[in-house]
Structure formats: C-alpha cells, structure tokens
A = this chain, B = another copy of it.
Amino acid sequence: MNAHVLLIECPDRTGLVYDITRSLAEKQLNIIANGEFVEHDTGRFFMRTELEGDVQADELVASLRRVLPAEARIKLEPPRKKRIVVLVTKEAHCIGDILVRCQFDEMNAELLAVVGNRDRLRPLAEQAGYPFHLVPHEGLSREEHEDKVIEVVASYNPDLVVLAKYMRILTPKMVSTFKDRMVNIHHSFLPAFIGANPYRQAYERGVKIIGATAHFVTDNLDEGPIIAQDVIHVHHQYSPKKMAMAGRNVEKHVLNRALYLVLEDRVMISGNKTIIFE
C-alpha cells in the first residue's frame, strides 16, 4: 500500500459522495480506487478511498467533518505497516505462517510480539527474532490472568491483536479493550460445529467439507463479524486426526486472507457484519 486510505461511515443521503469528493478535489488529491456501499437495512453509507497526492491529514479530516453528518466516522490511514501482537497457545501453524511472512516482508504488518499462555511456541518466535511473552494462566482466575495479558499486549500499543489459535475464552474486559481491533481464527465453518472438538464433531457427522472462519471478536463467543471463510473437501477416509490436519491448513489460509484485508484497511464493521472493499 503506497496510498492513503480514507474510510467513512455515516447515514446515507443524496449528495454524499459529491460532498466528500469535493473536499478531496479542493486539496488536489487523486482518487485511485474507490468503493461505496449503502446498506439497505440500516440506511448507512460506507466508503473506502485510496488517495494519491499531498495528504494533510488533520486538514483533510476537518474539511470532511464540515460536510458530513456529526455522527460520521472518519478514518484516514497513511501508508504504513500496521503494528500487530499475536496471541497463541500451542499450535504452530498460524503463528508459523505469520512469522515467515513478517520476517520476509510479505505482510503489511510489523510484528511487535507473540504472547502465549503456554511456552511451547517460544522457540518459534524467538528463533525468528521476535519477543515472546509467557503469561501462564495456572493458579490465576480468568480475570487475573487476562489482566496480565492485557497489560503485556497494551504495552505495545498495537493496531491489531491477532488470536492465532489462542485457546482461551475471553472476558468482556479483554474484548472491550481491543474492540474492533482483535481478529480470531475459528476452528470451524461457523455457525456449524460451534464449541469443543469441532473436527471430532465433523467426523461423527460425516461431512464432506470442513471450514474455518476469521472474525472480529465480540462479547458473544464465536459470534463476531465474519471477515473471511473458506472450506476444503474431505472424505470418508479422513480420521478425526487427518480432519484436524486439513482443518489447520484451511485455518492458516483463512486467517491470512483476513489479515491481508484488515491490514490494508479493506474491512469496515457494520453491526455484526463486515463490509469488505477488495
């Protein structure tokens, strides 16, 4: 991403795009990609614009404020790598993929740290040159443990928190602390097979497809706005173990796709849904 990205959300009205683009034109900014969407059910307007030119951020936002409704949400992102912290437990596939991409500059992210409630993945992070923080949960209440996690994560002031197979149920405090900037990869094709042992469930049911879902985290477990989903075909010869292996492949793939979208500011949230400008 070499361009600024402008994200606007507000109630729709006639002339909105005109008012916005006038502000851009007055500042000699060129639109190189643009998407708009009006959500029929809510009457809300969403817009994502890639801008070239001499962007003076404060001035531009101020001039947009003058023409937009008071409740408009305006976000202007300069071209930069996003700061991310990744939470893990013990599975290597998702964090392994992120580490290789970050180490070889194939992701629009600066990886600040990996935080785990177990120590198993420390070598993987550290061998790649990234800090690893162990925050063990043994002997702590959920709230006590999570306060420590929040403290570590918040100390990095990340743009995005990635739950890369972090197998802990989050408290409302954790969710609200990183509201709209925490992405989870779910071991299932939501809303099917919610809960424990999804691959065992899938195996018992004899499904021919298994999937994975990446979503923003909200208070309702496994219920946040979906960013990306995909599936792979399986068949009767798949044991639960082999289903889990296939599941890890699709998890890795779906999380990567979601992160690509979020890290390029292509995702806007509307209630429990996402608007995605590809």
Give residues in A with beta carbon < 8 Å to B. Answer: 12-19, 21-22, 24-25, 28-40, 53, 92-93, 96-97, 99-101, 103-104, 106, 124, 127-129, 189-193, 205-209, 211, 225-231, 235-237, 239, 245, 248-249, 253, 256, 270, 272-276, 278
A31 to B248, CA, bound (A): 29
Copies of this chain, whole number: 4
Which of B12, B192, B225, B236 interacts with A276 by CB under 8 Å?
B236
A99 to B123, CA, bound (A): 13
In the complex, the answer to whether B206 meets A225 with C-beta atoms within 8 Å is yes
In the complex, the answer to whether A33 meets B37 with C-beta atoms within 8 Å is yes
Using A92-B103, A193-B191 as known contacts, say yes or no to A16 and B31 having CB atoms under 8 A apart.
yes
Which of B18, B36, B236, B275 interacts with A24 by CB under 8 Å?
B18
A271 to B134, CA, bound (A): 46
A272 to B230, CA, bound (A): 25
In the complex, the answer to whether A14 meets B25 with C-beta atoms within 8 Å is yes
In the complex, the answer to whether A274 meets B206 with C-beta atoms within 8 Å is yes
In the complex, the answer to whether A38 meets B33 with C-beta atoms within 8 Å is yes
In the complex, the answer to whether B237 meets A33 with C-beta atoms within 8 Å is yes
CB distance from A277 to the nearest CB of B (A): 9
In the complex, the answer to whether A236 meets B275 with C-beta atoms within 8 Å is yes
Which of B14, B225, B249 interacts with A30 by CB under 8 Å?
B14
A190 to B127, CA, bound (A): 37
**Residues of B contacting A35 in the complex (Cβ-Cβ under 8 angstroms):** 34-36
Most chain B beta carbons < 10 A, residue from A208, A209, A229: A208
Which of B21, B29, B245 interacts with A21 by CB under 8 Å?
B21
Closest B-chain residue to A12, C-beta based? B30
**Residues of B contacting A40 in the complex (Cβ-Cβ under 8 angstroms):** 32, 239
**Residues of B contacting A129 in the complex (Cβ-Cβ under 8 angstroms):** 127
